Structure 1
Amino acid sequence: MTSFRSPLQNRVLPTGEIIAMSQRGSLMGNRGGRLHDPDSRELGARRWASRRWICCALDFKNRQREVMGPGYTELFFLDEVTALAAGHRPCFECRRDAAQAYARALAAEQGRGQTESGSPPSADVIDRLLHAQRTQPFRPKLSPADVAALPEGAMIARGETWFALRGGDELRWTPSGYERTTPAERQSEPAVLLTPPASVSALANGYRPIWHQSAGTC
């Protein structure tokens, strides 16, 4: 008899919520420690262990891990666009080039994210900035002009549907990938910004996130 195991609760939505779904992610990450019970492999009440919310490569130096075992809680994302929207940033170990590019893009934004010397911010500075933005009590509504001004790779919500901005279009996010939308769908409800302002600034100043392959076929 074939047995089927229920999917683990370790897939991250663009809102930052962590749910169980069968579709696998193209990137992994964590939130600074263990959020689950290693015996039951179920999440506890908390959703982060520290401010260090990172987005990592699936493979790094041939390291092997037991997912949701005794160590930190492995989380998975459709792609980096999703991870940024959820409040994560590139890992300075397994994705060092990307993390440095993200930090340089933050430093390029006058008055936001850079150190007093003008050098790129450290991981700790970035984490403090993002954590403050993740814990804001509400997200303001965006006008059509506000949406048009957002950089490629930012994500917005319209009601209970999430969209990634790419090439002047709004691509609908699904667990399996992105889907093309119609003008009517894009105007159906007011938009709110999902991606934290720091990551929006990084995107606006040249940071290029990893997209799921489906975005190239929309």
Structure 2
Amino acid sequence: MLQNRVNPFGNIIRTEARGLFMGNRGVIHNHDQEIIRPYKIKTWITCVLAFKNRRRPVMAPDRYTELFFMDEATSFAAGHRPCFECRKAEAHQFKSLWLKGNPDKKFNEKTLIKEIDNILHAERIDKHHLKVTFEESPDALPDGTFVSIGEEPYLLNKGLLYLWSPGGYSKSIPLPGRGKLPVLTPASVVNTFRAGYIPQMAV
């Protein structure tokens, strides 16, 4: 069983469960198909599972490491964004709504996506390779956002929080009445959801 599934904290785990999306962070495995680093490049993307009938062995030597996500909301929480090759429409929509949701960055349509990737990188992982979070009231967050409760990831959707697991979402709980929670989804991506991007959610 390969270590190639990503959870909402951005950690790469081993599980027999399949994912709905694929993605990569560059070459992060060795010739023994072992993960040896959390990322190689700042361009963390989310891809479709099938594209133009391409076939490739998973974790081939010196090729990018195929990572898998249960759904798109999970990939966003981990710090990934849509690929401009295999998910062109979603990628352009994401960029447009990211710009709309984050006017303080002073970017525009001519801004290269690598500039947005630099922002995302600072929002998802620190210099010690630890997950970056921020605090927010759940009732102020848009659907598709992940929060942490007792170090467990929960997806917000339609007024409920759904507990994430590698095989799917299990129990749901109502939003806490008060207080703030650690938010796993990067801050600028949360703003993108507020601006109208609706991530695919397996709930």
* Same-fold status (TM-score > 0.5): yes
The letter of the residue matching 1:12 is V
Following superposition, the deviation at residue 190 of structure 1 comes to 6.1
- Tell me which of the two structures has the higher relative contact order, counting C-alpha pairs closer than 8 angstroms and 6 or more residues apart: 2
Matches within 5 A, 1:115-194: 115=107, 118-119=108-109, 121-136=111-126, 139-142=133-136, 146-183=137-174, 191-194=181-184
Query: What is the CA–CA distance in structure 2 between the aligned matches of 1:80 and 1:195, rounded to whole Å?
Result: 12
Matches within 5 A, 1:36-185: 36-38=29-31, 40-44=32-36, 46-70=37-61, 71-113=63-105, 115=107, 118-119=108-109, 121-136=111-126, 139-142=133-136, 146-183=137-174
Following superposition, the deviation at residue 111 of structure 1 comes to 2.4
Identity over the aligned pairs, expressed in percent?
A: 40
The aligned counterpart of 1:12 is: 6
Q: Structure 1: which 5+ runs fail to align?
A: 1-6
CA displacement, residues 126-184 of structure 1 (integer Å, 9 cap, x when unaligned): 11110111234753443xxx21010110100001211111111111111111123234x
How many equivalent pairs are there?
198
The letter of the residue matching 1:132 is A
Query: What is the CA–CA distance in structure 2 between the aligned matches of 1:166 and 1:120, rounded to whole Å?
Result: 33
CA displacement, residues 88-131 of structure 1 (integer Å, 9 cap, x when unaligned): 0000110010010000111112524552xx32643211111101
Taking a change above 3 Å as real, the CA distance of residues 135 and 166 of structure 1, as seen in their structure-2 partners, is same
Structure of higher CA gyration radius: 1
Q: Structure 2: which 5+ runs fail to align?
A: none
Dislocated runs of 4+, deviation >6 Å: none
Taking a change above 3 Å as real, the CA distance of residues 120 and 164 of structure 1, as seen in their structure-2 partners, is farther
